[in-house]
Chains A and B, each alone.
Chain A
Amino acid sequence: MQTLDLQEIGLREVNATLHAQAENTNQTAWEIVNPKGAHAIACGLDAPIEVTVRGSTGYYCAGMNQQATVNIAGSAGPGTGENIMSGKIVIEGDASQYLGATGHGGMIVVKGNASSRCGISMKGVNIVVQGNIGHMSAFMGQSGNLVVCGDAGDALGDSCYEARFFVRGSVKSLGADCVKKEMRPEHLELLKSLLDEAGIDADPSEFTRYGSARNLYNFDVDNAGAY
């Protein structure tokens, strides 16, 4: 394993080294030590490498990730994995707000809890949270799946489009145009595959599915009160 000491070589050197890894690199295992909450660690990766950050991170760790697996052995700051395209991010601790914002693909796994606006404007990413998530999560979510093994806060899925939400515990309230939906066999299958991929042991039948009622897709003056 290659070790990068962030305090010693600085953020630019850490990221430039990881960005320099080619598609066919044989140096696939990396660790970053002494992150000390720095921002923008391991953002913009685009190679099939596995990077472990030994500690907690600041804003935008693994932002816009492609192909890489990034493990955060600590808690993660705001906007972690924002606009992720592919690959996987695993957070051992808790995640701050805007986790996976606008993510287009790939998977983010949180072993702890995720804060408010988790999966905001998600566009295809799959997010699996072992604990709870905060308010306004998946606001304007377009596509992808948000799985919550604990509880969800206020206004889940407000103004969402085609994103799907699976919650095992309670939902404090649903946002505008977000409704409870029937869990059909294909959804149970999908949920099982997401939990398996996230490495989380939970029974899909205990979850409830939520998604868009599609009433706000085209403006209607009679719905004006919903906004």
Chain B
Amino acid sequence: MNSHDSKGIPHTTPRQSATFTQDVNSDIRRAAATGIYDIRGGGAKRKVPSFDDLLFMGASISRYPLEGYREKCETSVTIGGLHASNPIELDIPITIAGMSFGALSGPAKEALGRGASAAGTSTTTGDGGMTPEERGHSSKLVYQYLPSRYGMNPNDLRKADAIEIVVGQGAKPGGGGMLLGQKISDRVAEMRNLPKGIDQRSACRHPDWTGPDDLEIKILELREITGWKVPIYVKVAGARPYYDTTLAVKAGADAVVLDGMQGGTAATQDVFIEHVGLPTLAIVRPAVQALQDLGMHRKVQLILSGGIRSGADVAKAMALGADAVAIGTAALIALGDNDPKWESEYNKLGTTAGAYDDWHEGMDPAGITTQDPDLMARFDPIEGGRRLKNYLKVMTLEAQTIARACGKNHLHNLEPEDLVALTMEAAAMARVPLAGTEWYPGKPGTGY
């Protein structure tokens, strides 16, 4: 490019708009070409205040630590002891979130079961019902009870170790699932009782109840059918966490699963994922506050999900009052999703490793989010299970490392007082002091 024009006047540096960025412009061009909104998988990709904006202080003269490899730091958690005669006992507080057979292949579901079982934790079904390979390989399986009721049957309900009534999902609070025609194979169609190849849109509301008073009766029915044996969780999207948690407890939930906007989905509109819902960091304290106000903290368990990636995230979630976390996207990455070894194939799909999110198209090079037999054959469920187990173990060791450094002999003993925030936003959301100060925005008695 010439630096001067023909008269010798210098060009200004070409300036990209901060409003009409290249990303935005590509969205506009895509919309103009197709007439259809963009659909994709995954959770919010935008930058939001997150656990990365929090730090643990560790021990010093006023607090003393536990010896890293000598003194015990417990990680077990019991979920659902309030009403269920058989609560779920987990060795680690990291569970596998609900992901459907349909969105994922049968072998991928099997791998989640293998990895979770080997690490002493639970896995969760999804829209589309319970598959034999998943039940067979999951020592503790949570059965999701979803608005669509695809594949829902009482025999599977009775085989479950817990039931999770799904009200919402962090990626799309107020939205139902989507499984587009490319992924409706014969087996998926049969399980969901739908014609092969159609675009299947799951309902956003349950068909036979609305509101908290109905939910209480629905929970009663599920308990009667399962003999009051298994815990009943209620999963809600991060929207109005204080009130949703309060209402779930009032309706009789044994546990509340709270999912922030970084939590993934198999497929929904990009505009939904990026513009509806709250960041995970912002939802945990109001939910814990609700439990504390009801005198139910640690009696009704809080399971937090949405962008949990490391033992540090686990420790921060627990310090803020969660009893356990759930991982979905991170578990898929552990299995091999978005692995750079498939880069040339991602390029052919117009994307790159790490950014691939068109899971609904069923062409996943890693063979995980697909029903294509050739692609599925690339994925080894035994190796996938081993990788997931390793990852879960590492996250646990990391969380223990932090807890010991804070002088805690159980992950549950981590507390907000162990944390500081790096930004004003994070301080306000997590209700912990801005690093180096005693203050956070909204702190009672401070006048702000």
Measured CB to CB, the residues of A under 8 A from B are 11-12, 15-16, 19, 39-40, 43-44, 46, 58-60, 63-64, 66, 78-79, 82-83, 85, 98, 101-102, 104, 117, 120-121, 123-124, 139-140, 142-143, 161-162, 217-219, 221
Task: Report how far A26 CA is from B225 CA in the complex, Å.
Answer: 22
Taking a contact as CB atoms under 8 Å apart, the answer to whether B208 and A102 are in contact is yes
Task: Report how far A94 CA is from B319 CA in the complex, Å.
Answer: 53
Residues of A within 8 A of B226 (CB): 44
Taking a contact as CB atoms under 8 Å apart, the answer to whether B199 and A60 are in contact is no
Taking a contact as CB atoms under 8 Å apart, the answer to whether A66 and B228 are in contact is no
Closest to A60 in B: B221
Task: Report how far A117 CA is from B195 CA in the complex, Å.
Answer: 22
Please tell me which one of the listed residues B194, B197, B217 contacts residue A60 in the complex, with CB atoms under 8 A apart: B217
Task: Report how far A205 CA is from B217 CA in the complex, Å.
Answer: 41
Taking a contact as CB atoms under 8 Å apart, the answer to whether A43 and B181 are in contact is no
Measured CB to CB, the residues of B under 8 A from A are 34-36, 148-149, 152-154, 157, 180-181, 192-195, 197-199, 203, 207-209, 214, 217-218, 220-221, 224-228
Taking a contact as CB atoms under 8 Å apart, the answer to whether B224 and A12 are in contact is yes
Please tell me which one of the listed residues B148, B149, B207, B225 contacts residue A43 in the complex, with CB atoms under 8 A apart: B225
Task: Report how far A121 CA is from B148 CA in the complex, Å.
Answer: 8
Task: Report how far A82 CA is from B217 CA in the complex, Å.
Answer: 13
Please tell me which one of the listed residues B192, B208, B220 contacts residue A101 in the complex, with CB atoms under 8 A apart: B208
Taking a contact as CB atoms under 8 Å apart, the answer to whether A161 and B208 are in contact is no
Taking a contact as CB atoms under 8 Å apart, the answer to whether B153 and A219 are in contact is no
Interface of B (DSSP majority class): loop
Residues of A within 8 A of B148 (CB): 121
Closest to A104 in B: B153
Residues of B within 8 A of A40 (CB): 217, 220-221, 224
Task: Report how far A187 CA is from B228 CA in the complex, Å.
Answer: 44
Task: Report how far A82 CA is from B145 CA in the complex, Å.
Answer: 13
* Least Cβ–Cβ distance between B13 and chain A, in angstroms: 40
Please tell me which one of the listed residues A15, A58, A83, A139 contacts residue B149 in the complex, with CB atoms under 8 A apart: A83
Taking a contact as CB atoms under 8 Å apart, the answer to whether B227 and A140 are in contact is no
Task: Report how far A162 CA is from B200 CA in the complex, Å.
Answer: 13
Task: Report how far A28 CA is from B193 CA in the complex, Å.
Answer: 32
Please tell me which one of the listed residues A44, A66, A98 contacts residue B208 in the complex, with CB atoms under 8 A apart: A98
Residues of B within 8 A of A139 (CB): 207
7 tightest A-B CB contacts, nearest first = A44-B225, A79-B208, A221-B35, A102-B149, A101-B208, A98-B208, A64-B154
Taking a contact as CB atoms under 8 Å apart, the answer to whether B154 and A161 are in contact is no
Given A85-B153, A218-B181, A219-B36, are A15 and B224 also a contact pair (CB < 8 Å)?
yes
* Least Cβ–Cβ distance between B356 and chain A, in angstroms: 22
Residue among A40, A120, A139, A161 facing the most chain B CB atoms (10 A cut-off): A40
Task: Report how far A43 CA is from B221 CA in the complex, Å.
Answer: 7
Given A39-B220, A44-B224, A102-B208, are A121 and B149 also a contact pair (CB < 8 Å)?
yes
Please tell me which one of the listed residues B208, B214, B217, B218 contacts residue A120 in the complex, with CB atoms under 8 A apart: B208
* Least Cβ–Cβ distance between A105 and chain B, in angstroms: 10
Task: Report how far A79 CA is from B222 CA in the complex, Å.
Answer: 13
Task: Report how far A120 CA is from B195 CA in the complex, Å.
Answer: 18
**Sample (22) of A-B pairs whose CB atoms are under 8 Å apart:** A39-B217, A40-B221, A43-B224, A59-B217, A66-B154, A78-B208, A82-B208, A83-B149, A85-B154, A98-B208, A101-B149, A102-B152, A139-B207, A140-B203, A161-B194, A161-B198, A162-B195, A217-B195, A217-B198, A218-B181, A218-B197, A221-B35
Given A43-B224, A85-B153, are A98 and B207 also a contact pair (CB < 8 Å)?
yes
Taking a contact as CB atoms under 8 Å apart, the answer to whether B199 and A218 are in contact is yes
Task: Report how far A162 CA is from B194 CA in the complex, Å.
Answer: 8
Task: Report how far A110 CA is from B448 CA in the complex, Å.
Answer: 61
Residues of B within 8 A of A219 (CB): 36, 180, 199
Task: Report how far A113 CA is from B193 CA in the complex, Å.
Answer: 28
Using A98-B208, A139-B207 as known contacts, list a sample of 6 further A-B pairs with CB atoms less than 8 Å apart, ordered by residue number in A: A16-B227, A39-B220, A64-B225, A101-B149, A102-B207, A104-B193
Task: Report how far A44 CA is from B227 CA in the complex, Å.
Answer: 10
